[in-house]
Each structure stands twice: as C-alpha cells, then as structure tokens.
Amino acid sequence: MVSTPLPPSSFHSVTAEIGGEENVKMLNAISRDFRSDTIAIPSDAMLLAGLKASRGDDVYDEDPTTAAFEARVAKLAGKEAGLFCSSGTLTNQLAFRTWLTQPPHAVLCDVRSHVYCYESGGISFHSQAATTTVLPTNGHHLTLEDDVEHNLVLDDNILQAPTKVVALENTLSGTIFPQEEIVKIGRRVHEAGLILHLDGARIWNVAAEKGDLDALPVVLKELLDPFDSVSLCMSKGLAAPIGSVLVGPAAFIKKAKHFRKLFGGGVRQSGGLAASADFALTHNFPELKRTHILTKRLNDALKELGARLTVPAETNMIFYDLKPLNINFADLHERALALPNPIRLGGSRIVVHVQTSESAVDDLLALISEMKEEEISKGWTPIPVVEGSSSGAATSGYGSK
Ligand SMILES: Cc1ncc(COP(=O)(O)O)c(C=O)c1O
C-alpha cells in the first residue's frame, strides 16, 4: 500500500521554506511512529507563534506571555494559580516536594503510575517520602472501597509512614478514571486532612471525550475539582515542544516556584515556549478526539484480525498481544521498519498522536494481516481470543512515557 503523510489539519504542517527539508522528512517519519504521543513535533505555525511572545525574564516574574499562559491554564482548571515548567516529571515532583514538609510521610498511588514507575525514584529522592503502591482490584482504576481506604495510614503507629498525599493519574495507560470514583476518593482524602494530587499529563484526552474547546472551561474544572494540585502536560497529546503546568492554590504555587528555582528549573526567557504551548492548546486540543477515533478504528481492526487486546482502548493508546496469531513483536517491529515507508513501533503499546497518518494505520494493519496469512500458510491455526479476557489487570507492557 502506498503511503502519504496525512497531516489532519494545516496547523500540523511543516514546510521546507520555514521548517527545512529535514523537518518535513521528520514529520513524515513521526506520522508513522506509534511509540508515544511525545514524539509529535511542533508545526511551523506553533513555533512562529513563539516568535511573537514577550521576551522578559520569567525567573524575575517579568514575562507577560508566560504569566498569561499560566493564568489561562489555571483558570481553565478552576485553580488559583499556575506554574509553567519544563516537564511533567518536574511538575509532579514539585507538587510532592511542596506538599510534603515533614518526614516520615507517604504517597499512596497506583502501582502502575508514572510518578512511581517512571520518575527515577523522585518521590523518595526529593521528598524523603515512602510510597504505598496499590494494584487496582478491578484492574482498571483505584476505588475507595477496595483499594484506597485500607491502604491509608492515618494513625500514629510509629512503625509506618503516615499517608499525606494520594496521587491519581488520568488517563493511565490511556484509560479514563471514572469521575464518580475520583469524587468519592477526594471526599475521603479531604475528610482525613490529606492532599489529592493528579498527574493529569493526559487529562486533555479525557476532556476531549467530554466536549470541544468551547466546553473546555466547564469540563476541565469539573474533572479537576476534587484535586488540590494537578500537573497538566503540553508536550504529550497537545504536541508542544516543551512544558507542563502545575496548578493549585496561590500559596502552594508560590512555594512550588521557590522549589522550581532550587531544582534548577527556572527558565529565563520562557515566553516563546509558553506561546507555543498556548498555541498547542488552542489548535491541537480539538484534534484529540480524532486521535481517539483513529485509535478505536485500529483497535477494532486488530481485534478483528485475532489480536488480544490487553487494556481497553479508551483514548489514544492500545495494548495488544499477537501471540494468538503466532507473531512476536521483534519480528513485527523489524518488518515494519523494513517497509518502503517505515513504521516504528514500541513494545506492546501503540500510541496515536495528532500527526499520526491514517495511511500509517492502514499500512500497519496490512502488515499484520500479511504476517498472519504467512503463519496460516505455514500451518498455524489462530487461537480464538476469549471475550472478556482482553481487559483487566494487565501489569506488564505498561510503558507510560
Ligand atoms: C502520565 C505521565 N506523567 C508524567 C510524565 C512525565 O512527563 P515528562 O516526560 O515531561 O517529564 C509522563 C511522560 O511521558 C507521563 O506519561
């Protein structure tokens, strides 16, 4: 099948005149790269928006573009203030460091969560905190009754580190945390005098399922209402070159800004980066829904081919297993890279982003179909996937970058 890059809207485009031939090629390459949504690249328009930004020193609090962007995200989130940072790891870890003032103390979170698995042990390093990790009983999301309540350490038993922060993640591996359960957990956490933090790196994907850009202020405020602090990433689904925003009460953000300086994370002339992130929010948020539709199409076609889907595809991620077709990932990845217009894959996870081309999806499906036919011609009989065994407590294959 011949493939052409298909940027879904002109806001994603990179031209030879502005971006240079190398970046036009890069756009084609990443339109066929399913490893992560972080690999989406800034368009010409996004970077040009950065040229018009103010150029003040943000560490001195003198950059109007950065301040306006922080205020925009905070307002959308329904929180008092925001802090623009270089990464989601920084915003999560700043939140913990700011809330956790006196060890011994502990953070309770999902055992699969990014803050625990993929932030280099930052919770113990920066905040001297223990981590209570919980595998959700239902395999999908933590619930108050089955998972959180009995793991809270609320008494003064000196053998344990008392829970101070409960950290949730939404989306987690592309799955959406049911809001009514978040509300329940939030009520209990606050009743116990604790803090509820959200790693909302991909909260935009949840919001996109619930409404368009006009509805975002209402939708996002409602989603984030139970949380004391939230980290929102600009360089995952929204495809900004850099940036995450930490939002919360004004006094908390003021203290987090102090820690940001201590961590070496203050960015001086940050206006151009903030303006690009602001552009990404306006122009790429409306594109997220399309990535979910494309994901669903790919997910359903994989199922049709006989793949086992190991996590429900609720936004832009698929977790799959081709053992029922006798195909292993190493062979698939090698064949995909050897295509005339190569496709890049990563492990058992497929991620669709705003610059993923529809032809990449078609070509991937065609390749898997071809490999399936080869196995059948060698005598393999595809193993039927039992309905209901496809979702649940998958604990492996979760890479959350
Ligand atoms: C859910 C989640 N949270 C936080 C992060 C950290 O973001 P960053 O890579 O910007 O540090 C990531 C990174 O992919 C993530 O997937």
CA–chain centroid gap for 48, Å, is 25
Residues with CB under 6 A from ligand 1: 38, 87-89, 92, 114, 169, 199, 201, 233, 244, 400-401
pLDDT of residue 1: 38
pLDDT of residue 292: 98
Tens-level pLDDT at each residue, the chain (401 residues): 333 334 455 667 899 999 999 999 999 999 999 999 999 999 999 999 999 999 999 999 999 999 999 999 999 999 999 999 999 999 999 999 999 999 999 999 999 999 999 999 999 999 999 999 999 999 999 999 999 999 999 998 999 999 999 999 999 999 999 999 999 999 999 999 999 999 999 999 999 999 999 999 999 999 999 999 999 999 999 999 999 999 999 999 999 999 999 999 999 999 999 999 999 999 999 999 999 999 999 999 999 999 999 999 999 999 999 999 999 999 999 999 999 999 999 999 999 999 999 999 999 999 999 999 999 999 999 999 986 654 444 443 344 45
Distance CA 66, CA 57 (A): 10
Q: DSSP character for 385?
A: P
**Residue 169 CA, ligand 1 centroid: distance in Å:** 11
Q: Report whether 234 contacts 123 (CB < 8 A).
A: no
Domains and CATH numbers, the chain: 10-44+289-375 (3.90.1150.10), 47-285 (3.40.640.10)
**Residue 91 CA, ligand 1 centroid: distance in Å:** 10
**Residue 357 CA, ligand 1 centroid: distance in Å:** 23
Question: What pairs with residue 350 in β-bridges?
Answer: 318
Q: What angle do CA 154, 178, 244 make, to 5 degrees?
A: 80
The pTM assigned to this predicted structure is 0.94
Q: Report whether 30 contacts 40 (CB < 8 A).
A: yes
pLDDT of residue 394: 44
Is 127 in a helix, a strand, or coil?
helix
Closest-CA residue to 148 (of 182, 125, 174): 182
Task: Tell which atom from ligand 1 comes closest to the C-alpha of 199.
Answer: 3
| Residue whose CA lies nearest to ligand 1 atom number 5 | 88
Distance CA 362, CA 129 (A): 47
Out of 114, 116, 349, mutate this one to test ligand 1's pocket (max ligand atoms within 8 Å of CB): namely 114
pLDDT of residue 12: 79
| Residue whose CA lies nearest to ligand 1 atom number 7 | 88
